[in-house]
Amino acid sequence: KAIGIDAGGTLTKVAYLDEHNELILSTFPSNDLQAVKDWIINNPDIEDIGVTGGRTEQLLDVIKTMKSIHYIVEFEATLKGVRFLLNKGGYYFERSMITNIGTGTSIHYMEGNTHIRVGGTGIGGGTLIGLSALTTGITDYNEIREMAVKGNREGVDLLVKDIYQGMDTPIDGHLTASNFGKVGITEAIKQPAADILATVQGLVGEVITTLSIQYAEEKNAQHIVYIGSTISNNEHLVNVIANYTRTKKHTPVFINDHGFSGAVGALLNI
């Protein structure tokens, strides 16, 4: 059997195909690579391991003597996996942007069989957890995700219409004029944790979307495929990204198993 492993900054993703050619996926925290080794030991039929991701060196320190190892560079693995998952989902785009929201964010332009990393930002999943933890004390990703759905950004974000009071707005009044901007100009400094978490997600989502759209316009690509575990089951963040992308006249695309693109690419590379 062959498996693909993407050892990322936060999460290590594993992918393989079962006897019915179904993708089987699992996740380990990247600060516990020993658990990955134990899992491999418990699956003695594994012969080949495709590896990728920024934590590959540390992963190999733990597993290198075990099996036949096949390394592939992270961006190559990610795009290989994205192509496979897009195809599996019945999508084909001649030109598209691929925005990978991992611990940090990388943005790629994909055209036919070619791709190039066009840019990125340090605003990513790590930012989401870091800012959430510092502002609310909540560090657990699942708790952040679930609470954010119940939160309301209105008391924290300053919208364009909040500035242009009683006047016509020069741009859509519901756009964010200033993320967290209401706090500094109103009296209520204390905000409910759910509202802060929703607003942190808003900030992260809007920065990433804004940047992705700028590249999409430069490259004349209509579709932006958003991937990465940061948006896995993260309803609030997905909504922010989808709505803002549509507001800016582009088409957001979300594919199944997107968080495992790198692991799938590493598997296909064997």
Q: Minimal distance in Å, beta carbon 159 to ligand ATP?
A: 26
The Cα–Cα gap between 267 and 13 comes to 11
Residue with tokens 């492993």: 5
202 binds, among Mg ion, ligand ATP, none (CB under 5 to 8 A by kind): none
Question: Distance from CA of residue 186 to its chain's centroid?
Answer: 33
- Show the binding pattern over residues 2-31: x = contacts Mg ion (CB under 5 A), - = does not: ------x-----------------------
Under the binding rule (CB under 5 A), the answer on residue 102 touching Mg ion is yes
The answer to whether 23 touches 264, Cβ cutoff 8 Å, is: yes
Q: Minimal distance in Å, beta carbon 55 to ligand ATP?
A: 7
Question: Could you give the residue numbers annotated as active site?
Answer: 74
Among 10, 121, 191, 212, binds ligand ATP (CB under 6 A): 10
Q: Minimal distance in Å, beta carbon 12 to Mg ion?
A: 9
> Residue 73 is encoded by which pair of tokens?
């560079």
- Name the residue nearer to Mg ion (CB basis): 151 or 262: 262
98 binds, among Mg ion, ligand ATP, none (CB under 5 to 8 A by kind): none
Neighbours of 67 (CB within 10 A): 15
Q: Minimal distance in Å, beta carbon 130 to ligand ATP?
A: 9
Number of residues that bind Mg ion (CB under 5 A): 2
Under the binding rule (CB under 6 A), the answer on residue 132 touching ligand ATP is no
**Burial label, 106 (beta-carbon count in 10 A; 0-12, 13-18, 19+):** buried
Under the binding rule (CB under 5 A), the answer on residue 104 touching Mg ion is no
Among 16, 75, 93, 141, binds ligand ATP (CB under 6 A): 141
Question: Distance from CA of residue 195 to its chain's centroid?
Answer: 22
The Cα–Cα gap between 46 and 40 comes to 7
Neighbours of 130 (CB within 10 A): 14
Which residues does 252 contact at the CB level (< 8 Å), separation at least 6? Answer: 223, 224, 226, 241, 242, 245, 246
Among 5, 33, 128, 194, binds ligand ATP (CB under 6 A): 128
Residues lying near ligand ATP in the complex (CB under 6 A) are found at: 8-11, 30, 54, 102-104, 125-126, 128-129, 141, 228-230, 232, 259
